[in-house]
Amino acid sequence: MRVAALLGAAPGIASHARRCRTPGSIRWVAAAHAQTTEDPAVPEDLLLRVRERGSHLDRPWSLTYLRNRGKVTRAQKEAWRTLWPQYGIDVRTHAGGGGPPPRLDFREVFADRPEAPLALEVGFGLGHSLMEMAAAHPDKNFVGVEVHKPGIGAALQKIQARRDELGDGWVDNVRVVRMDALWLVRDFIPRESLSDVCVYFPDPWSDAQAHRRIVNPFLLALIEPCMTKTGGRLHLSTDDDSYAEHMFRVMSEAESSGKWEKADEALLGRSGSTKYEERGRALGSEIRNFCYRYVGSP
């Protein structure tokens, strides 16, 4: 895997490395190696290694999301207060006393159904697709990761509303996490634990900001060790033509590596009526769906 691909060919990363004065910074080391070595294994090791200390994100990649997205409503605040303890996952991001923090134990998170396959949705927005998938596949456990508090509050409301609607028929198979999805996958998702990874309508970014698109070789490098040996699937959707072409290029290269193959399968339990899909159709955009299966190293 090429260094430029892992770093997203981010403009300014070299100048950032020159500005950084802390030799021990992972970001500085990764950027410096990316400019000085021809061996792609060195920076890949730096980027993919588990962090060893500290409570803050040692992020050698560009942010793939906007920092601010709306205000939390009063009802969403109440959902955070009352429902997060039940449906939220608190991630312990530092171990204290050195050593890496522990990876999540989903057998404990879903204690009533520890053997169910595990699916991860990256950036679930307001939780529409997350709840649709959880309802359509009661045989699976679902974890959604999002950074924006209003979206998480809305998802918590949807989970509780679904539980109230179903009563005794409710299947407790969905949880949410608030953190950077790449950090979550790199440091906290257990190896060989994911049957599905879903990335639906991510922030498209312009071609000039393509290094911020979350669907890239770095994402694949992070999720590959976490996919199940039986052939985990990656589901992608976008209504942005440029991003669709970008996704196709990224996954075509992944197919060429022998690690991924196209999967002619319906996307995981979605009705196609989320806010993003309806808005795209109203604007005349074509929705592109992709599905790939991880087949392991050749």
24: number of Cβ within 10 Å: 6
DSSP secondary structure code for residue 51 in this structure: P
Choice among 105, 203, 239, 264 that is catalytic: 203
Cα dist from 239 to 164, 235, 252, 289, whole Å: 33, 14, 19, 9
Strand partners, 293: 233, 261
HSE-up of 55 (CA within 13 Å, CB side)?
A: 3
Q: In the annotation, is 203 catalytic?
A: yes
Q: How far is residue 217's CA from residue 8's CA, in Å, rounded to a whole number?
A: 8
Rounding to the nearest 10 degrees, give the CA dihedral for residues 54, 60, 66, 69: -10
Residues 6+ apart with CB under 8 A from 1: 40, 44, 217, 221
Catalytic residues: 203
